[in-house]
A and B are shown apart, each in its own frame.
Chain A
């Protein structure tokens, strides 16, 4: 990225980003410097990629012309702690309108791949068309700038996500990797394939500790292009820490913003896994396909109850002091660290255990690990399988797939395996399609085609306005538990004024767990790039990017009927929840009208 002296948010053309266009069919590769058009372009991530996607006419996510955009944020690869994220954007095979058109989507991941990518001297790769043979893209820094080469990748086929990364490490030193697993190779039957991103810990330890760009099937799009891996090979580049940057990083690693994700011995609360306890107090932990039973039998999976049964180690992506990865190892007889099992985060843990009726932590670890190795999004995979189990409990005489039911670990593992290998398209194409096919969509936990994360739709009427997955792109998913407010005005404001603010870090390249406040964000941008941006300009850019996401949905055929919740919320409220069942059809209809009343004029004025 080139930033000329005097560049500011009001003169984005003074910032040029380096894009590489790759035609996978013809093998054409060209680099270009592109002047930014607005602050969203400068910030990067989906703020930039969605503007490009808006110019495309795509009716099939697996059509060769669907561009796969891989880009970074302004802070990616900088010395701002957690500036690690890379973004994969495309029209999604999973997020579809009721008209059947694919919607624009992005998925972000950390690890070290994003830094190496940036350090090669490039800001964005745009892959178009489809290679006739499996290939990998080798991105390198060179004396005269970055280079990119397409190389055969036949030898990687059939390897799981971790095996691919370790195989590539032997071939390419000083590099990091983005790969698909077997699920991505079988994209036609697995629409929720993820992209695995290597971490330094993974390459050093040899353990399967990838990070993931999981949501929306970006790994499936990558597979559809016969693009098996991207290698970013560059020397590490560290700048000199200014006093302001040092203070900023100290606040990120030790301040109040990231405290939730730090270890208890470091004054934290122990990570997202610790969401279990407070949610269970309100019976809001998804169980048996998002239907809490108000039983107290799920405590076996609480972190405090596993401290003496496993070796739990807090680890990190790269140069991050938060150490949010809660990695589970076996506990040796002498109390030392044994074999690596899996990483326990709230989402994959819940959706691949409690929500499937599995309460044994060892079984949970096996399911999480296998889903990762096959290269699937644990949220989509888990929420689709929970539908299958629910369906089977309702139709014991005519069950789906292998007839698995809640708690049947062996059969659930078989479902995971068959799905990830591409042998179970019924499941692999996501819960919306499956439920429509079975003509029982009411308890399919999806909104706009994307499976729900591990927060009940009964508590979040904001889900339909999330533009890239239910929780990370619309921060309304915990508000009921936190604030307990069920008034109409409150929820309209929560959606139109608060929830979308989390999108900032889907552009900048910083991690959402860093707890970067608005002021800190300005400091980070200034210190990392020299760019002067004020708060008003930054907030306006975030809002424009959000609105653009909604406009793009309309472009792909989203209509009033797409903006809704699973019918079960309205038709069969769960009396077990300790929160109020306030989302009646009348409430939701009125709220939706009021939300659009606020947003639509701004969408039209974009």
Chain B
């Protein structure tokens, strides 16, 4: 399955401003793991050293917020959107 991943400015800036990418994966977590495997410079921001998702990030799966990692195991259908944005931005 291929999901459309949308990256907020903080993440997109790290990979040259790319905001939308199509990434394979059967679950939300797998999509994000594949994303950080393809764009390794995102890995330190996406994942804590303990392997958990960075709690400062907010993940939306088809506009539903995944809070504190609950929902990362949700199955992904082709065409789903997974948005990753920082909960901290601006001033």
Contact partner of B91 among A255, A272, A518, CB < 8 A? A272
Contact between A260 and B83, CB atoms less than 8 A apart: no
List the one stretch of B5-13, B28-36, B71-79 in contact with chain A. Answer: B5-13
* Bound CA–CA A472/B90 (angstroms): 8
Given contacts A259-B8, A260-B8, whether A513 and B86 have CB atoms under 8 Å apart is: no
Contact between B89 and A481, CB atoms less than 8 A apart: no
Contact between A515 and B9, CB atoms less than 8 A apart: yes
Contact between A256 and B10, CB atoms less than 8 A apart: no
Residues on B with C-beta less than 8 A from A260 are: 8, 85-87, 89-90
Chain B residue total in the interface (Cβ 8 A): 29
List the one stretch of A65-73, A276-284, A433-441 in contact with chain B. Answer: A276-284
Asked if B16 is at the interface of the complex by the 8 Å CB criterion, the answer is yes
* Bound CA–CA A444/B16 (angstroms): 37
Total residue contacts A-B, CB cutoff 8 A: 86
Contact between A255 and B19, CB atoms less than 8 A apart: yes
Asked if A60 is at the interface of the complex by the 8 Å CB criterion, the answer is no
Asked if A333 is at the interface of the complex by the 8 Å CB criterion, the answer is no
Separation in Å of the B7 CB from the closest CB of chain A?
Answer: 7
Asked if B54 is at the interface of the complex by the 8 Å CB criterion, the answer is yes
Contact between B56 and A482, CB atoms less than 8 A apart: yes
**A interface secondary structure, majority:** helix
Residues on A with C-beta less than 8 A from B86 are: 260, 478, 482
Contact between A483 and B44, CB atoms less than 8 A apart: yes
Interface residues on A, range: 35 or more
Contact between A478 and B13, CB atoms less than 8 A apart: no
Contact between B85 and A278, CB atoms less than 8 A apart: no
Residues on A with C-beta less than 8 A from B58 are: 269
* Bound CA–CA A386/B12 (angstroms): 36
Given contacts A482-B54, A501-B13, whether A257 and B8 have CB atoms under 8 Å apart is: yes
29 A-B contacts, Cβ less than 8 Å apart? A256-B7, A256-B83, A257-B19, A259-B8, A259-B83, A260-B85, A261-B90, A272-B90, A275-B87, A275-B90, A279-B88, A346-B90, A346-B91, A347-B91, A455-B91, A477-B91, A478-B86, A481-B88, A482-B86, A482-B88, A483-B44, A483-B45, A484-B44, A512-B90, A515-B9, A517-B18, A517-B19, A518-B17, A519-B17
Q: Which residues of B contact A (CB under 8 A)?
A: 6-10, 12-13, 16-20, 44-45, 48, 54-56, 58, 60, 63, 83, 85-91
Q: Which residues of A contact B (CB under 8 A)?
A: 255-257, 259-261, 267, 269, 272, 274-275, 277-279, 281, 345-347, 453-455, 471-472, 477-478, 481-485, 498, 501, 512-513, 515, 517-519
Closest A-B pairs by Cβ, 9 of them: A518-B17, A256-B6, A517-B17, A260-B89, A278-B87, A272-B90, A471-B91, A515-B9, A478-B88
